[in-house]
Amino acid sequence: MNAFSHKSIKLNLYGLLLALFVFSTNFTNAQDGEKLFKSYCVSCHYAGENVLVGPGLKGVTEKYEMSWILEWVKNSQALVKAGDAQAIAVYEKYNKVIMPNQPVNDDEIKAIFAYVDDYNANAAVAAPSASSSDAVVATSDSAVEDDNTTYYVFFGAILVLLIVISVLRKVNYSLNSVIKNGEIEDEKGMWSALVHWGASNRKFVVLFVLGIIVLFAKAGWDTALNVGVYTGYEPEQPIKFSHQVHAGANKIDCNYCHSGARNSKSAGIPSANLCMNCHTYINEGQQYGKEEIAKIYKALDFDPVTKTYGDNTTPIKWVKVHNLPDHVYFNHSQHVTVGQIDCAKCHGPVEEYTVGKQFAPLTMGWCIDCHRETKVQTEGNGYYDEIHKRLPEDLKAKYLENGVINVDELGGIECAKCHY
Protein backbone atom coordinates (compact mmCIF):
# COMPACT_ATOMS: atom_id res chain seq x y z
CA MET A 1 0.00 0.00 0.00
CA ASN A 2 2.86 2.35 0.87
CA ALA A 3 4.65 1.88 -2.46
CA PHE A 4 1.40 2.23 -4.37
CA SER A 5 0.53 5.46 -2.52
CA HIS A 6 3.92 7.00 -3.12
CA LYS A 7 3.70 6.09 -6.81
CA SER A 8 0.22 7.60 -7.04
CA ILE A 9 1.40 10.80 -5.38
CA LYS A 10 4.33 11.13 -7.78
CA LEU A 11 2.12 10.51 -10.82
CA ASN A 12 -0.37 13.10 -9.62
CA LEU A 13 2.36 15.67 -8.99
CA TYR A 14 4.02 15.13 -12.35
CA GLY A 15 0.62 15.37 -14.03
CA LEU A 16 -0.15 18.64 -12.26
CA LEU A 17 3.26 20.04 -13.19
CA LEU A 18 2.79 19.08 -16.84
CA ALA A 19 -0.68 20.63 -16.93
CA LEU A 20 0.66 23.79 -15.33
CA PHE A 21 3.48 24.00 -17.88
CA VAL A 22 1.08 23.56 -20.82
CA PHE A 23 -1.33 26.13 -19.41
CA SER A 24 1.34 28.75 -18.73
CA THR A 25 2.87 28.18 -22.18
CA ASN A 26 -0.48 28.69 -23.92
CA PHE A 27 -1.22 31.75 -21.79
CA THR A 28 2.17 33.24 -22.63
CA ASN A 29 1.63 32.59 -26.35
CA ALA A 30 -1.68 34.46 -26.17
CA GLN A 31 0.04 37.40 -24.52
CA ASP A 32 2.85 37.24 -27.07
CA GLY A 33 0.26 37.68 -29.83
CA GLU A 34 -1.03 40.83 -28.13
CA LYS A 35 2.49 42.22 -27.68
CA LEU A 36 3.37 41.49 -31.30
CA PHE A 37 0.16 43.15 -32.49
CA LYS A 38 0.95 46.26 -30.46
CA SER A 39 4.56 46.30 -31.69
CA TYR A 40 4.03 45.77 -35.42
CA CYS A 41 0.39 46.24 -36.38
CA VAL A 42 -1.39 48.78 -34.22
CA SER A 43 -0.04 51.91 -35.94
CA CYS A 44 -1.80 50.96 -39.21
CA HIS A 45 -4.49 48.43 -38.32
CA TYR A 46 -7.42 48.07 -35.96
CA ALA A 47 -8.01 44.66 -34.42
CA GLY A 48 -11.67 45.10 -35.41
CA GLU A 49 -13.20 45.83 -38.79
CA ASN A 50 -12.72 49.61 -39.17
CA VAL A 51 -10.05 51.01 -41.50
CA LEU A 52 -7.09 52.98 -40.09
CA VAL A 53 -4.23 53.21 -42.61
CA GLY A 54 -4.77 49.63 -43.69
CA PRO A 55 -7.82 47.39 -43.30
CA GLY A 56 -9.19 46.16 -40.00
CA LEU A 57 -7.95 42.64 -39.26
CA LYS A 58 -11.28 41.18 -38.19
CA GLY A 59 -12.13 38.11 -40.26
CA VAL A 60 -8.85 38.10 -42.21
CA THR A 61 -8.14 34.47 -41.31
CA GLU A 62 -11.57 33.50 -42.62
CA LYS A 63 -11.19 35.43 -45.86
CA TYR A 64 -7.64 34.36 -46.79
CA GLU A 65 -5.56 31.21 -46.47
CA MET A 66 -2.97 31.39 -43.68
CA SER A 67 -0.20 30.49 -46.12
CA TRP A 68 -1.08 33.58 -48.17
CA ILE A 69 -1.29 35.78 -45.04
CA LEU A 70 2.21 34.66 -44.00
CA GLU A 71 3.66 35.68 -47.36
CA TRP A 72 1.76 38.98 -47.44
CA VAL A 73 2.90 40.10 -43.98
CA LYS A 74 6.55 39.23 -44.61
CA ASN A 75 6.78 40.73 -48.12
CA SER A 76 3.59 42.16 -49.59
CA GLN A 77 5.27 43.77 -52.59
CA ALA A 78 6.80 40.49 -53.70
CA LEU A 79 3.26 39.11 -54.09
CA VAL A 80 2.11 42.24 -55.92
CA LYS A 81 5.03 42.13 -58.35
CA ALA A 82 4.45 38.42 -58.89
CA GLY A 83 0.93 39.22 -60.10
CA ASP A 84 -0.95 37.61 -57.21
CA ALA A 85 -4.61 38.58 -57.72
CA GLN A 86 -5.46 38.82 -54.03
CA ALA A 87 -2.39 40.91 -53.27
CA ILE A 88 -3.09 43.32 -56.14
CA ALA A 89 -6.73 43.68 -55.06
CA VAL A 90 -5.76 44.59 -51.48
CA TYR A 91 -2.99 46.90 -52.67
CA GLU A 92 -5.29 48.86 -54.99
CA LYS A 93 -8.24 48.91 -52.59
CA TYR A 94 -6.22 50.74 -49.95
CA ASN A 95 -4.81 53.45 -52.22
CA LYS A 96 -1.62 51.56 -53.09
CA VAL A 97 -0.13 52.26 -49.68
CA ILE A 98 2.83 49.91 -49.38
CA MET A 99 2.72 47.66 -46.36
CA PRO A 100 6.29 47.49 -44.96
CA ASN A 101 7.91 44.08 -44.67
CA GLN A 102 7.51 42.95 -41.08
CA PRO A 103 10.40 41.32 -39.15
CA VAL A 104 8.29 38.45 -37.83
CA ASN A 105 8.36 34.71 -38.45
CA ASP A 106 5.48 32.38 -39.28
CA ASP A 107 4.77 31.44 -35.65
CA GLU A 108 4.67 35.10 -34.62
CA ILE A 109 2.27 35.98 -37.44
CA LYS A 110 0.00 33.11 -36.42
CA ALA A 111 0.14 34.33 -32.81
CA ILE A 112 -0.89 37.84 -33.95
CA PHE A 113 -3.93 36.59 -35.84
CA ALA A 114 -4.84 34.18 -33.05
CA TYR A 115 -4.93 37.20 -30.75
CA VAL A 116 -7.01 39.19 -33.29
CA ASP A 117 -9.53 36.34 -33.55
CA ASP A 118 -9.73 36.04 -29.76
CA TYR A 119 -10.11 39.81 -29.42
CA ASN A 120 -13.06 39.91 -31.81
CA ALA A 121 -14.65 36.79 -30.31
CA ASN A 122 -14.47 38.34 -26.83
CA ALA A 123 -15.78 41.67 -28.14
CA ALA A 124 -18.73 39.91 -29.76
CA VAL A 125 -19.59 38.15 -26.50
CA ALA A 126 -19.21 41.30 -24.40
CA ALA A 127 -21.16 43.59 -26.73
CA PRO A 128 -22.82 41.76 -29.66
CA SER A 129 -24.53 44.94 -30.88
CA ALA A 130 -21.44 47.12 -30.80
CA SER A 131 -19.55 45.65 -33.75
CA SER A 132 -18.17 49.04 -34.75
CA SER A 133 -16.32 49.72 -31.50
CA ASP A 134 -12.93 48.75 -32.83
CA ALA A 135 -10.78 51.03 -30.69
CA VAL A 136 -7.10 50.24 -31.04
CA VAL A 137 -6.22 47.81 -28.31
CA ALA A 138 -3.24 49.79 -27.08
CA THR A 139 -5.32 52.96 -26.77
CA SER A 140 -8.66 51.65 -25.55
CA ASP A 141 -10.13 52.97 -22.31
CA SER A 142 -10.30 49.49 -20.82
CA ALA A 143 -7.50 48.49 -18.51
CA VAL A 144 -4.57 46.76 -20.21
CA GLU A 145 -4.01 43.29 -18.87
CA ASP A 146 -0.98 43.03 -16.63
CA ASP A 147 1.89 41.36 -18.48
CA ASN A 148 2.81 39.55 -15.24
CA THR A 149 -0.50 37.68 -15.02
CA THR A 150 1.25 34.48 -16.09
CA TYR A 151 3.55 34.73 -13.11
CA TYR A 152 0.64 35.22 -10.71
CA VAL A 153 -1.15 32.21 -12.16
CA PHE A 154 2.02 30.16 -11.91
CA PHE A 155 2.62 31.01 -8.26
CA GLY A 156 -1.06 30.41 -7.46
CA ALA A 157 -0.76 26.98 -9.05
CA ILE A 158 2.36 26.31 -6.96
CA LEU A 159 0.36 27.05 -3.81
CA VAL A 160 -2.36 24.66 -4.94
CA LEU A 161 0.33 22.08 -5.68
CA LEU A 162 1.73 22.36 -2.16
CA ILE A 163 -1.74 21.94 -0.68
CA VAL A 164 -2.32 18.84 -2.82
CA ILE A 165 1.03 17.43 -1.69
CA SER A 166 0.09 18.02 1.93
CA VAL A 167 -3.34 16.41 1.57
CA LEU A 168 -2.03 13.37 -0.29
CA ARG A 169 0.77 13.00 2.22
CA LYS A 170 -1.67 13.00 5.12
CA VAL A 171 -3.93 10.48 3.42
CA ASN A 172 -0.96 8.24 2.69
CA TYR A 173 0.31 8.49 6.27
CA SER A 174 -3.12 7.73 7.74
CA LEU A 175 -3.67 4.69 5.53
CA ASN A 176 -0.23 3.28 6.37
CA SER A 177 -0.83 3.80 10.06
CA VAL A 178 -4.15 1.98 9.91
CA ILE A 179 -2.62 -0.92 8.03
CA LYS A 180 0.41 -1.25 10.32
CA ASN A 181 -1.04 -0.57 13.74
CA GLY A 182 -4.76 -0.67 13.34
CA GLU A 183 -4.98 2.94 14.48
CA ILE A 184 -3.88 6.35 13.31
CA GLU A 185 -0.69 7.55 14.99
CA ASP A 186 0.27 11.17 15.47
CA GLU A 187 1.37 12.35 12.08
CA LYS A 188 4.26 14.66 11.31
CA GLY A 189 3.71 18.36 10.69
CA MET A 190 3.09 19.57 7.15
CA TRP A 191 6.58 20.98 6.67
CA SER A 192 8.23 17.89 8.11
CA ALA A 193 6.13 15.80 5.75
CA LEU A 194 7.17 17.98 2.81
CA VAL A 195 10.86 17.67 3.76
CA HIS A 196 10.49 13.93 4.04
CA TRP A 197 8.69 13.74 0.71
CA GLY A 198 11.31 15.98 -0.93
CA ALA A 199 14.13 13.75 0.32
CA SER A 200 12.39 10.81 -1.27
CA ASN A 201 11.74 12.58 -4.58
CA ARG A 202 14.91 14.54 -5.24
CA LYS A 203 14.60 14.58 -9.03
CA PHE A 204 11.22 16.23 -8.87
CA VAL A 205 12.50 18.79 -6.32
CA VAL A 206 15.51 19.64 -8.50
CA LEU A 207 13.29 20.18 -11.56
CA PHE A 208 10.89 22.26 -9.48
CA VAL A 209 13.67 24.48 -8.10
CA LEU A 210 15.19 24.96 -11.57
CA GLY A 211 11.76 25.98 -12.85
CA ILE A 212 11.44 28.58 -10.08
CA ILE A 213 14.92 29.95 -10.87
CA VAL A 214 14.10 30.25 -14.58
CA LEU A 215 10.79 31.91 -13.75
CA PHE A 216 12.42 34.51 -11.50
CA ALA A 217 15.18 35.11 -14.06
CA LYS A 218 12.60 35.81 -16.79
CA ALA A 219 10.59 38.06 -14.49
CA GLY A 220 13.76 40.02 -13.67
CA TRP A 221 14.71 40.27 -17.35
CA ASP A 222 11.24 41.50 -18.34
CA THR A 223 11.28 44.04 -15.52
CA ALA A 224 14.70 45.35 -16.57
CA LEU A 225 13.54 45.74 -20.18
CA ASN A 226 10.64 47.90 -19.03
CA VAL A 227 12.66 50.29 -16.88
CA GLY A 228 12.02 53.80 -18.21
CA VAL A 229 9.30 52.62 -20.64
CA TYR A 230 6.10 54.58 -20.10
CA THR A 231 3.67 53.33 -22.74
CA GLY A 232 0.20 54.61 -21.89
CA TYR A 233 1.49 57.53 -19.80
CA GLU A 234 -1.44 59.94 -19.60
CA PRO A 235 -0.76 62.87 -17.23
CA GLU A 236 -3.48 65.25 -16.10
CA GLN A 237 -3.09 68.60 -17.84
CA PRO A 238 -3.90 72.08 -16.44
CA ILE A 239 -6.51 72.49 -19.19
CA LYS A 240 -8.52 69.53 -20.46
CA PHE A 241 -7.84 69.49 -24.18
CA SER A 242 -9.67 66.86 -26.24
CA HIS A 243 -7.78 65.62 -29.30
CA GLN A 244 -10.89 63.61 -30.14
CA VAL A 245 -12.88 66.82 -30.65
CA HIS A 246 -10.17 68.79 -32.46
CA ALA A 247 -8.33 66.19 -34.57
CA GLY A 248 -11.24 63.74 -34.77
CA ALA A 249 -14.59 65.48 -35.02
CA ASN A 250 -13.30 68.79 -36.45
CA LYS A 251 -10.54 67.22 -38.63
CA ILE A 252 -7.91 69.79 -37.64
CA ASP A 253 -4.53 68.78 -39.04
CA CYS A 254 -1.88 67.96 -36.43
CA ASN A 255 0.55 70.40 -38.02
CA TYR A 256 -1.83 73.33 -37.59
CA CYS A 257 -1.21 73.30 -33.85
CA HIS A 258 2.19 71.54 -33.82
CA SER A 259 3.67 73.53 -36.70
CA GLY A 260 7.24 72.86 -35.64
CA ALA A 261 6.94 69.21 -36.65
CA ARG A 262 7.44 70.12 -40.33
CA ASN A 263 10.35 72.50 -39.94
CA SER A 264 12.24 71.88 -36.72
CA LYS A 265 13.52 69.31 -34.27
CA SER A 266 10.62 69.81 -31.86
CA ALA A 267 6.92 69.62 -32.74
CA GLY A 268 6.28 72.38 -30.19
CA ILE A 269 3.43 73.11 -27.82
CA PRO A 270 0.95 75.52 -29.41
CA SER A 271 0.65 78.89 -27.72
CA ALA A 272 -2.62 79.98 -26.15
CA ASN A 273 -2.80 82.71 -28.82
CA LEU A 274 -3.15 79.99 -31.44
CA CYS A 275 -6.15 78.64 -29.55
CA MET A 276 -7.72 82.08 -29.82
CA ASN A 277 -7.85 81.82 -33.62
CA CYS A 278 -11.01 79.81 -32.99
CA HIS A 279 -11.91 80.41 -29.36
CA THR A 280 -12.18 84.17 -29.60
CA TYR A 281 -15.73 83.41 -30.65
CA ILE A 282 -16.18 79.77 -29.63
CA ASN A 283 -16.49 79.93 -25.86
CA GLU A 284 -18.24 76.62 -25.18
CA GLY A 285 -16.82 73.18 -25.96
CA GLN A 286 -18.51 69.92 -26.92
CA GLN A 287 -17.16 67.95 -23.99
CA TYR A 288 -16.30 70.36 -21.17
CA GLY A 289 -18.61 73.29 -21.80
CA LYS A 290 -17.27 76.74 -20.89
CA GLU A 291 -15.07 75.72 -17.94
CA GLU A 292 -11.90 74.69 -19.79
CA ILE A 293 -12.06 77.44 -22.42
CA ALA A 294 -12.42 79.93 -19.57
CA LYS A 295 -8.99 78.77 -18.33
CA ILE A 296 -7.48 79.89 -21.65
CA TYR A 297 -9.16 83.28 -21.29
CA LYS A 298 -7.79 83.59 -17.77
CA ALA A 299 -4.24 82.72 -18.87
CA LEU A 300 -4.39 85.39 -21.59
CA ASP A 301 -6.36 87.84 -19.44
CA PHE A 302 -8.98 87.93 -22.17
CA ASP A 303 -12.48 89.31 -21.73
CA PRO A 304 -14.88 87.25 -23.91
CA VAL A 305 -17.53 89.97 -23.73
CA THR A 306 -15.48 92.97 -24.86
CA LYS A 307 -13.00 90.81 -26.82
CA THR A 308 -10.07 92.70 -25.27
CA TYR A 309 -6.83 91.55 -23.65
CA GLY A 310 -5.38 92.69 -20.33
CA ASP A 311 -1.81 92.79 -19.02
CA ASN A 312 -2.02 90.06 -16.36
CA THR A 313 -1.14 87.03 -18.48
CA THR A 314 0.03 83.79 -16.87
CA PRO A 315 1.78 80.81 -18.52
CA ILE A 316 -0.05 77.51 -18.91
CA LYS A 317 2.02 74.78 -17.26
CA TRP A 318 1.49 71.90 -19.65
CA VAL A 319 2.88 68.51 -18.61
CA LYS A 320 5.22 66.95 -21.18
CA VAL A 321 4.08 63.49 -22.27
CA HIS A 322 6.94 62.20 -24.46
CA ASN A 323 10.36 62.31 -22.81
CA LEU A 324 13.50 60.95 -24.46
CA PRO A 325 16.82 60.55 -22.60
CA ASP A 326 19.19 63.53 -22.89
CA HIS A 327 21.67 61.51 -24.99
CA VAL A 328 19.06 60.69 -27.67
CA TYR A 329 18.63 62.92 -30.73
CA PHE A 330 15.30 63.01 -32.53
CA ASN A 331 14.26 65.44 -35.24
CA HIS A 332 10.57 65.81 -36.13
CA SER A 333 11.15 67.51 -39.49
CA GLN A 334 13.52 64.74 -40.56
CA HIS A 335 10.72 62.23 -40.08
CA VAL A 336 7.65 64.28 -41.02
CA THR A 337 8.97 66.30 -43.98
CA VAL A 338 11.82 64.18 -45.34
CA GLY A 339 10.65 60.72 -44.26
CA GLN A 340 6.97 61.56 -44.88
CA ILE A 341 6.04 59.52 -41.81
CA ASP A 342 2.45 59.87 -40.66
CA CYS A 343 2.03 61.21 -37.13
CA ALA A 344 0.04 58.10 -36.15
CA LYS A 345 3.10 55.90 -36.70
CA CYS A 346 4.59 57.17 -33.44
CA HIS A 347 1.66 58.85 -31.70
CA GLY A 348 -1.12 56.41 -32.52
CA PRO A 349 -4.73 57.31 -33.38
CA VAL A 350 -4.65 60.72 -31.68
CA GLU A 351 -8.03 61.55 -33.18
CA GLU A 352 -9.51 59.04 -30.72
CA TYR A 353 -7.78 60.38 -27.59
CA THR A 354 -9.67 62.48 -25.09
CA VAL A 355 -6.41 63.13 -23.22
CA GLY A 356 -3.00 62.99 -24.89
CA LYS A 357 -0.99 59.89 -24.02
CA GLN A 358 2.21 58.07 -24.96
CA PHE A 359 1.35 55.47 -27.57
CA ALA A 360 4.69 53.88 -28.52
CA PRO A 361 7.39 52.57 -26.13
CA LEU A 362 10.05 54.82 -27.75
CA THR A 363 12.76 52.30 -26.95
CA MET A 364 15.90 51.95 -29.06
CA GLY A 365 14.74 48.54 -30.31
CA TRP A 366 11.41 50.02 -31.38
CA CYS A 367 13.16 52.78 -33.35
CA ILE A 368 15.62 50.37 -34.98
CA ASP A 369 12.82 48.04 -36.05
CA CYS A 370 11.05 50.98 -37.66
CA HIS A 371 14.22 52.04 -39.51
CA ARG A 372 14.72 48.51 -40.79
CA GLU A 373 11.19 48.13 -42.15
CA THR A 374 10.47 51.66 -43.43
CA LYS A 375 11.07 52.37 -47.11
CA VAL A 376 12.85 55.63 -47.95
CA GLN A 377 10.42 57.99 -49.69
CA THR A 378 12.60 59.10 -52.60
CA GLU A 379 10.01 59.77 -55.30
CA GLY A 380 9.20 63.47 -55.68
CA ASN A 381 11.19 64.26 -52.56
CA GLY A 382 13.39 67.32 -53.11
CA TYR A 383 15.55 66.40 -50.14
CA TYR A 384 17.12 63.60 -52.20
CA ASP A 385 17.49 65.43 -55.55
CA GLU A 386 21.18 66.24 -55.11
CA ILE A 387 21.92 62.72 -53.88
CA HIS A 388 20.22 61.28 -56.97
CA LYS A 389 22.34 63.46 -59.28
CA ARG A 390 25.56 62.14 -57.76
CA LEU A 391 24.45 58.52 -57.55
CA PRO A 392 26.15 56.18 -60.09
CA GLU A 393 23.85 54.67 -62.69
CA ASP A 394 24.30 51.10 -61.45
CA LEU A 395 23.21 52.12 -57.94
CA LYS A 396 20.27 54.08 -59.33
CA ALA A 397 19.07 50.96 -61.11
CA LYS A 398 19.62 48.86 -58.01
CA TYR A 399 17.94 51.09 -55.45
CA LEU A 400 15.82 53.82 -57.03
CA GLU A 401 14.16 51.91 -59.85
CA ASN A 402 13.46 48.83 -57.74
CA GLY A 403 12.42 50.92 -54.76
CA VAL A 404 13.89 48.53 -52.20
CA ILE A 405 16.07 50.86 -50.15
CA ASN A 406 15.15 51.10 -46.48
CA VAL A 407 16.20 53.66 -43.86
CA ASP A 408 18.77 51.35 -42.28
CA GLU A 409 20.65 51.24 -45.61
CA LEU A 410 21.17 55.00 -45.41
CA GLY A 411 22.78 54.83 -42.00
CA GLY A 412 19.52 54.68 -40.09
CA ILE A 413 20.90 52.28 -37.49
CA GLU A 414 24.32 53.89 -37.02
CA CYS A 415 24.86 54.80 -33.36
CA ALA A 416 26.05 58.35 -34.06
CA LYS A 417 22.87 59.21 -35.96
CA CYS A 418 20.81 59.26 -32.78
CA HIS A 419 23.36 59.42 -29.95
CA TYR A 420 25.63 62.33 -29.21
Is residue 32's pLDDT more than 50?
yes
Is residue 392's pLDDT more than 90?
no
Q: Which residues pair with 309 in a beta bridge?
A: 302
The 3-state secondary structure of 15-61, one letter per residue: HHHHHHHHHHHHHHHHHHHHHHHHHHCCCCCCCCCCCCCCCCCCCHH
Average pLDDT over residues 121-135: 55
Coil/strand/helix, residue 101: coil
Coil/strand/helix, residue 303: strand
Coil/strand/helix, residue 170: helix
Coil/strand/helix, residue 75: coil
- The 10s digit of each residue's pLDDT in 335-353 is 999 898 999 999 999 998 8
State residue 132's pLDDT score.
38
- The 10s digit of each residue's pLDDT in 147-182 is 455 555 666 667 677 776 766 666 666 656 655 555
Q: What is the mean pLDDT of the chain?
A: 79
- The 10s digit of each residue's pLDDT in 255-268 is 999 989 999 999 98
Is residue 198's pLDDT more than 60?
yes
- The 10s digit of each residue's pLDDT in 299-331 is 999 999 999 999 999 999 999 899 888 899 999
Distance (Å, rounded) from C-alpha 118 to C-alpha 112?
A: 10
Q: How many CA atoms lie within 13 A of 34 on its CB side?
A: 16
Q: Could you state, in order of their start, the residue ranges of all structural domains in the chain?
A: 2-20+148-225, 41-138, 363-420
Average pLDDT over residues 32-48: 80
Is residue 3's pLDDT more than 80?
no
Closest Cα to residue 134, out of 16, 9, 42, 226?
A: 42
Closest Cα to residue 164, out of 56, 34, 19?
A: 19
Average pLDDT over residues 266-285: 91
CATH number belonging to domain 41-138 = 1.10.760.10
